[in-house]
Amino acid sequence: MSPLLANQSPRIFRAPWVIPVTSAVLSDGAVVLDQDSIIAVGQYDDIVARFSDLPVTKCSGVILPALVNAHIHLDLSIYGPVPQESAESSMCDWISSLLKKRMDSNYSIQEIRDAAEKIAVKQHESGVGLMLDTGNTDLGKFQSCSAEIISLFEMLGPSKLATEAAIKTITELPCHRMVTGHAPYSTTPELLKFIKKRSIEKDSIFSFHLLENLDESLLLIKGSGCFSKFLKERGATSDTFPIPGIDTKGVVGYLQKTGILDRNTLCVHCVHLSDQEIKLIAESDAYICLCPTSNSFLNVGRAPLERILNHGLLPALGTDSITSNPMLDMWDEMALVKQNHPTVSVDTILSMATHGGAMALHREKRFGSLECGRTSSILNICATHYEKATNAWQLVERITSGGRPDSINWLSPVNTISN
C-alpha cells in the first residue's frame, strides 16, 4: 500500500469518526498534523474553516490514539505458548513448565532477539504504539519496529545469597539500564528496596507482578502455599519467607511500608486485591496494569476492575508474554474486559488500552489521547461493523468488543506506515 502521508506537513486528516479518548467522540471529525505534533482536533467543518489552506486526506472508519501495551515479556517470545497440564494445575506448575522449557532449550541470544523483534513488529502492526517490555535479556533496539519500547531488566532474588548476586549484577550494569523486581514472592525485601532506590535516583518505572495468585499472600504471610513448595525445592525460602511484620494490610501494606509504592510504580495483574489494598495503591499514586487473557489462560481469577475504578484508578492493559497469552492482541484484551465486566463502560475500557497505559508509563504527553501538542503516532482503523454504528456509544462498543479491525493504518506526524 502507498502511505497516506509522506513527509507532507501540515495536513488535515478527516474521518467519519474521531475518538480523542479524553474528550467526546466526534462525528465527521478531523485532526491536523504537522511534522512534530497535533495542531488541532475538532469537527471537520470547524477545522477546515480554521485551516482552509491545508490539504485534506479523507480517511474511512475511525481515527484514534495508538494502543499502549503496558506489560509484555518480549524475550519469552521464542518459547511460544506454555499450556497448563490440567485444570487442577497451579500457577507454580506452570512456572515449572516454563522454566523446564527454557532450561531444555539451547537458543542463542540472536535467536531470542529475532523472535522478540518479530513479536514487537506484530504488536506495532496491530496498532500498539508504546510497550513496556520486562525481561532478563538485553534485546537492544529493534530497527524494524516503529513502536516506542521501554525496556526494564527484571531481577529475581528470593534468598539472601540470590539477593547478593542480583545486587552485584545490577551494580555492573550500564547507568542507563533500567531495572525492576519480578514479584514480592520471588524477590527479598532487601533486593526490592535496593532496586527501588536505584529507580528513584533515575526517575524510572518500577513494574512488578503483584497478587497474580492467592498463594503469593500465603507465602509472604504464612510461609505456605504452592510458592513455598516451589521455592523450597530450590532451597530459597529458609532465610526469607514468611516475612515478619505483615499486618492486616497484607502484601500491599508491606510494600507500602517498604517504600515500593509511588507514582513510578506499576503493579501488574492485581487479581487478588482487597478493598484496603486498592485504597493503599490509590493513596500511593501508584498505577495498576491488568492482563485479563493471561489470567484466564493460567486460571488465576479475574482482577476486581469495578472496585479498582471505584477508588479512582484507571488501570492500564497488557498482554503479558506469549507463554501465557497465545493471541498477544490488545483488541482481544479489550473484548475480554468487556465480556468479564459488562457493567464497566466501553469508554473506560478503550481508555484503559490507551490513556491508562500512557499515564502508567508517564508518556501521556505523547500517547493515549488526541490533543493539541501530542506527538505520538495515530491510528486509522476500519471495520465493516463500525459502519453500522449510529452514535458514539455504538461505535466504541463495536471497537471494544469486535476484536482486531479489518485494517489498521498509521497516521504519523512525520510519515505514515500502512499495514
Spatial separation of the C-alpha atoms in residues 326 and 156, rounded to whole Å? 25
pLDDT beyond 70 at 413: no
Distance CA 386, CA 299 (A): 33
Q: Are residues 126 and 237 in the same domain?
A: yes
Same domain (yes/no): 283, 136: yes
**Confidence band for 88, pLDDT divided at 50, 70 and 90:** confident
Residue 40 lies in a domain: yes
Domain end point (choices 320, 339, 360): 360
pLDDT of 416 higher than 60: no
State pLDDT tens for residues 350-379.
999 999 999 999 999 999 999 998 877 899
Q: How many domains, in total, are found in the chain?
A: 2
The three-class DSSP label of residue 96 is helix
Rounded CA-CA distance 176/409 in Å is 33
Query: How confident is the model at residue 9, as a pLDDT?
Result: 76
Please indicate, yes or no, whether residues 290 and 170 belong to a single structural domain of this protein.
yes
Computed over every residue of the chain, the mean pLDDT equals 93
215 neighbors 90 (Cβ within 8 angstroms):
yes
Q: Is residue 91 part of a domain?
A: yes
Residue 419 placed within a domain: no
pLDDT in tens, 117-126: 999 999 999 9
End-of-domain residue from the set 321, 336, 360: 360
Say if residue 402 is in the same domain as residue 351. Answer: no
Least Cα distance to 65 among 405, 364, 367 occurs for 367
In a domain, 2, yes or no: no
85 in a domain, yes or no? yes
pTM: 0.95
Q: Is the peptide bond before 242 cis (omega within 30 degrees of 0)?
A: yes
Per the structure, the complete domain to which residue 128 belongs is given by 67-360
Instruction: Give the Cα separation of 238 and 223 in Å (integer).
Output: 9
Question: Whole-angstrom Cα distance, residue 239 to residue 398?
Answer: 52
Residues 273, 332, single domain; the answer is yes
User: Last residue of a domain, which of 324, 340, 360?
Assistant: 360
pLDDT band at 417 (very low <50, low <70, confident <90, very high): very low
Give the DSSP H/E element, type plus range, for residue 215. Answer: helix 215-222
Residue 6 included in any domain: no
DSSP state of 285: T
Q: Does 1 map to a domain?
A: no
Is 56 in the same domain as 154?
A: no
Specify which residues 269 forms β-bridges with: 210
Residue type, 272: H
* pLDDT tens readout for residues 99-117: 999 999 999 999 999 999 9
> β-pairing, 265-269 with 287-290?
parallel
Q: Is the domain of 134 the same as that of 189?
A: yes
What is the helix (H) or strand (E) element at residue 163, kind and residue range?
helix 160-171
Q: Are residues 60 and 73 in the same domain?
A: no
3 state DSSP class of 410: strand
Domain shared by 315 and 386, yes or no: no
Looking at the chain, the whole-number percentage of residues with pLDDT higher than 70 is 95
Same domain, 344 and 385: no
Do residues 260 and 400 both lie within one domain?
no
Residue 32 lies in a domain: yes
* Whether residue 272 sits in one domain with residue 127: yes
Q: Is 13 helix (H, G, I), strand (E, B) or coil?
A: strand
Strands 265-269 and 206-210: parallel
* CATH code: domain of residue 78: 3.20.20.140
